[in-house]
């Protein structure tokens, strides 16, 4: 990965942190996007010590599309190309809360930010000649179903339900994007990290937080959970591979709903409209 520039979101904790550090060990230049400035600044010397020739931090609250736009503008102004984009930032929340922009925050952080940030950085990815996009999804997508009349779960909300739905949306986005990027030199794949004992669930509350605490001892370590993302970002084995879902560094079949082309296309159109890219 020497000579490669990699953007990682949510890089200060959990699998995002391990992903950034391991890619630094391979000699990549790291550009991290984080919400917490102190944590981001503390990580930079660690990345350089691990082997990154350079490491940079950009701050953003990725649940706000205005912040996504601002950080994308910073990155586009500073760098001439991006070799890899790892969309890793995500969370599970307890109660239904809307962001200042009026979106359910799981939907905003876990889906809208992937979609908008990728679009805004696409020219820099294409400028690399051959580039990769890695979307961190989850097998939690399997029970989810997209209801286009209730995308943000204004009715029937549940914290875990919203999380599962957002992970299905990550896959739907990955497949549609792969189709649209054919022939561009940019590939996109999705990763299932597995249940990871990181900061996951720390934003939840009540019974959900209690339940996550009970099963946490059986979770994977962040290092184990990050392996597939690191592999997709760096391995020659997936050079040119696009539009696939991987777990434990092997291709995995998602749910039938994730493979529904009409749902992929419709979600794309609806998301374009929501983030203001349509037309």
194: Cβ contacts below 8 Å, ≥ 6 apart: 139, 219, 220, 224, 225, 247, 248
Dihedral angle computed from the Cα positions of residues 172, 180, 81 and 245, in that order, rounded to the nearest 10 degrees: 40
Using a 10 angstrom Cβ sphere, with 0-12 exposed, 13-18 middle and 19 or more buried, the burial of residue 123 is: exposed
- Give 89-128 as a DSSP string: -----SS--B-TTSSBHHHIIIIIHHHHHHHHHHHHHHHT
- Identify whether 163 is a catalytic site residue: yes
Question: DSSP 3-state assignment of 181?
Answer: coil
Are the C-beta atoms of 84 and 22 separated by less than 8 Å? no
Cα–Cα separations (whole angstroms), residue 274 to 12, 40, 230: 28, 29, 31
Q: Which of 79, 114, 157, 163 is catalytic?
A: 163
Determine the longest span between alpha carbons in the chain, in angstroms.
Answer: 49
β-strand 250-251 against 245-247: which pairing, if any? antiparallel
Using a 10 angstrom Cβ sphere, with 0-12 exposed, 13-18 middle and 19 or more buried, the burial of residue 124 is: buried
- The set of catalytic residues is 163
């Amino acid at each position: 990965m020497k000579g490669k520039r990699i953007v990682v979101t949510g890089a200060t904790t959990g699998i995002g942190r391990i992903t950034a550090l391991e890619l630094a060990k391979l000699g990549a230049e790291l550009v991290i996007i984080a919400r917490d400035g102190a944590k981001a600044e503390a990580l930079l010397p660690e990345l350089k010590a691990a082997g990154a020739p350079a490491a940079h931090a950009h701050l953003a609250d990725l649940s706000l599309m205005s912040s996504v736009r601002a950080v994308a503008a910073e990155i586009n102004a500073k760098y001439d190309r991006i070799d890899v984009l790892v969309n890793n930032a995500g969370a599970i929340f307890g109660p239904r809360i809307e962001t200042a922009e009026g979106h359910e925050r799981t939907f905003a952080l876990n889906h809208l930010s992937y979609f908008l940030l990728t679009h805004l950085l696409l020219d820099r990815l294409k400028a690399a000649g051959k580039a990769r996009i890695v979307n961190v999804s989850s097998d939690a997508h399997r029970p989810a179903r997209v209801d286009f009349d209730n995308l943000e779960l204004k009715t029937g909300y549940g914290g875990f339900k919203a999380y599962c739905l957002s992970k299905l949306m990550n896959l739907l986005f990955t497949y549609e994007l792969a189709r649209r990027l054919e022939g561009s030199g940019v590939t996109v794949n999705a990763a299932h990290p597995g249940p990871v004992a990181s900061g996951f669930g720390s934003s939840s509350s009540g019974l959900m937080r209690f339940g996550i605490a009970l099963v946490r001892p059986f979770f994977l370590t962040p290092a184990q959970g990050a392996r597939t993302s690191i592999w997709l970002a760096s391995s020659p084995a997936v050079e040119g591979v696009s539009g696939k879902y991987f777990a434990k560094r092997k291709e995995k079949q998602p749910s039938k709903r994730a493979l529904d082309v009409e749902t992929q296309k419709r979600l794309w159109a609806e998301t374009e409209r929501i983030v203001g890219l349509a037309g």
